[in-house]
Amino acid sequence: MTILGHLAEVVAGLLRDDERRVLLGEDVADGGMLGLSRDAVKNPALRPRVLSTPLLPITSFAHAAGLAGAGRHPLVLLPGVGAALEGLTGLREAAAWSWRNRDSVGTPIAVPLCVVAPCGPGFGLGGDASEAAATMLASIAGLTVLCAGRAEEAGAWLRAAAEHAVTHGPTVLLLPRRVLLGAVSGPPAQSLGRDPTSPHRVREGETVTVLSWGAALSIATAAVEATGVDATVIDVGCLSPLPRAALEAEAKATGRIVIVHAGPRTGGIGAELAASFADAAILHLDAPVVRVAGADSPLRPADEGDAVPSVERVAKAIERIASY
């Protein structure tokens, strides 16, 4: 089974597990651009909770927020992260609804909204690859932004994001297209097995700490293996709110940091992390904090692959910092 087929099963399973869940999107009634709603549409018991929305993302988010406020648990499947940017105002209002309003006992109003957005290059659809979509989404107060980094964990990330939205409010899960196309060595993970908002050690090492997420995670891991450097590789996973204390502890552990991410270098999450380390961990650093990212925009659609750094570039950065 492909990862996309597995994700379609997960979506249908989420609807089966909780009757309060509803599925929204401009193309979900047809199975979705990537087929993620296909299994739900085929199931007569689930089909009534698959709701088509107008071709206006802001309307989808407004509708979803209203359903969430009425006690439903909406899951919005977007054709791409560009739709989230088009509907940014609606998403902002949905996120603000919770932290701005409280019930009679002072508890924030629950807005269990989960948004799933493919992003980055892949399938020839990555026109948004040169935009700092994650950075724009991370700037929305009250919104949790998660990003899957390994193909075998894509379905587990989807479940974790949906569950996180129920307990903590509006959540966006970014699914890099390159992750969805990635090779899987074993069966897909059924559960993430950890807090999705906490960084995860993918590889243990003592010389350099490599921080990465999303489409760049496999590249960072491959670069470490190519260099032979004894490096720790961290899957940041949660891009907003950033788990700063945990990441600063990882930075201090080796004193040598390489940040690897897809998308533009300028103004990205990597820049925020570098600034955070300079502020909180400067006395523990033994080398400059190096960022390796994709090419800055604008990128032509034909050059969308340049939005992801190469293994060679990352390897050179790791070797430079290891020997600094």
Domains 3-180 and 200-322 share a fold: yes
> pLDDT at residue 112 above 70?
yes
pLDDT digits (tens, 9 = 90+) for 136-156: 999 999 999 999 999 999 999
pLDDT digits (tens, 9 = 90+) for 93-108: 889 887 787 766 767 7
For the chain, the average pLDDT equals: 92
φ, ψ at 256 (rounded to 5°): -130, 120
Q: Residue 118 and residue 56: Cα distance in Å, rounded?
A: 17
Averaged pLDDT for residues 156-175: 96
Which residue type, as a one-letter code, is found at position 280? A
**Predicted pLDDT at 126:** 65
Averaged pLDDT for residues 287-300: 90
Strand 231-235 versus strand 200-203 pairing type: antiparallel
**Predicted pLDDT at 294:** 92
Interhelix angle 311-322/217-227, rounded to 10 degrees, is: 60
Tokens at 176, concatenated: 């890099």
**Higher model confidence: residue 124 or residue 193?**
193
Q: Which percentage of the chain shows pLDDT scores above 90?
A: 77
Q: 184 burial class (0-12, 13-18, 19+ CB within 10 angstroms)?
A: middle
Domain 200-322 bears CATH identifier 3.40.50.1360: no
**Predicted pLDDT at 291:** 97
pLDDT digits (tens, 9 = 90+) for 170-222: 999 999 999 998 877 778 999 999 999 999 999 999 999 999 999 999 999 99
Q: Which residues pair with 148 in a beta bridge?
A: none
Question: Is 205:241 a contact under the CB 8 Å cutoff?
Answer: no
Averaged pLDDT for residues 43-52: 96
Q: Within 13 Å and on the Cβ side, how many CA atoms surround 291?
A: 21
Q: Residue 100 and residue 249: Cα distance in Å, rounded?
A: 32
Q: Residue 19 and residue 196: Cα distance in Å, rounded?
A: 24
Placement of tokens 């026109």 in the chain: 127
DSSP labels for 196-259?
TTS-EEEE--SSEEEEE-GGGHHHHHHHHHHHT--EEEEE--EEES--HHHHHHHHHHHS-EEE
Q: How many CB atoms lie within 10 A of CB 248?
A: 17
CATH top-level class for 3-180?
alpha beta
φ, ψ at 17 (rounded to 5°): -70, -25
Placement of tokens 């991370």 in the chain: 138
**Predicted pLDDT at 137:** 96
The string over 11-44, giving b where at least 16 C-beta atoms fall within 10 Å of a residue's C-beta and e elsewhere, is bbbbbeebebbbbbbbbbbebbbbbbbbbbbeee
Q: Residue 266 and residue 293: Cα distance in Å, rounded?
A: 9
In the chain, domain spans: 3-180, 200-322
pLDDT digits (tens, 9 = 90+) for 227-267: 999 999 999 999 999 999 999 999 999 999 999 999 999 88
**Higher model confidence: residue 18 or residue 126?**
18
